Chain A
């Protein structure tokens, strides 16, 4: 199936731990993103990568570090987890360019991170 897949779907961890979320897309898209959805369901971009190059970094704490080994993968590593990091994290991909932008994003199914 063509899709954006992210793992794990659920992650429960203690404060201070380090964790990673993985994302892979097989759509051939050049750009991948991480979005955070908070407890009020508000979605906000964290990072975007275009063909392994960081394009957008939206004032996210440096405990969050994205890594893109190739254009089909974008992982998110979080150090020293805090209670406030609890949220749903979505990976997404798109094909930028004037016309292709109109097709929007394809989202992964999200990772619910709970920090206890």
Chain B
């Protein structure tokens, strides 16, 4: 069975600073995909960043980057230069090709960016 764990239910950061959200996972698959989704108060689920397990290079999307440690099964999200609009719930998620597209989500981390 695949699992995703986010051990930080809540975090806060000052505007313009950097914050890192943690995620660990477990899977027996050799090929899989990891994602971070953002859910602002509007409720919309927004894809922030994605990582393919067989790619060693960490994914980066503007101010968002990941630290993918495959051996440790860790997939943390770093947000640089935090903005008020980054305030949201962040979900780490995992899927694998033979799972029928099923996404396994972590419990979420609620991030507050303070002015």
> What is A's interface to B at a CB cutoff of 8 Å?
31, 33, 35, 40-45, 48, 50, 55-56, 88, 90, 92, 94, 96-98, 101-105, 107, 109-110, 112
Contact = CB atoms under 8 A, between A and B. Distances in A.
29 contacts: A31-B100, A40-B107, A41-B107, A41-B110, A42-B105, A43-B91, A45-B102, A50-B100, A50-B101, A55-B100, A55-B101, A56-B100, A88-B43, A90-B45, A96-B101, A98-B31, A101-B95, A101-B97, A102-B50, A102-B52, A103-B50, A104-B103, A105-B45, A105-B101, A105-B103, A109-B44, A110-B43, A110-B44, A110-B45
Interface in B15-56: 31, 33, 35, 37, 39, 42-45, 47, 50, 52
Q: How large is the interface on B (under 10, 10 to 19, 20 to 34, 35 or more residues)?
A: 20 to 34
B101 A101 contact: yes
Q: Is the interface of A mostly helix, strand, loop or mixed?
A: strand
6 tightest A-B contacts by CB?
A107-B45, A43-B105, A96-B101, A55-B100, A110-B43, A104-B47
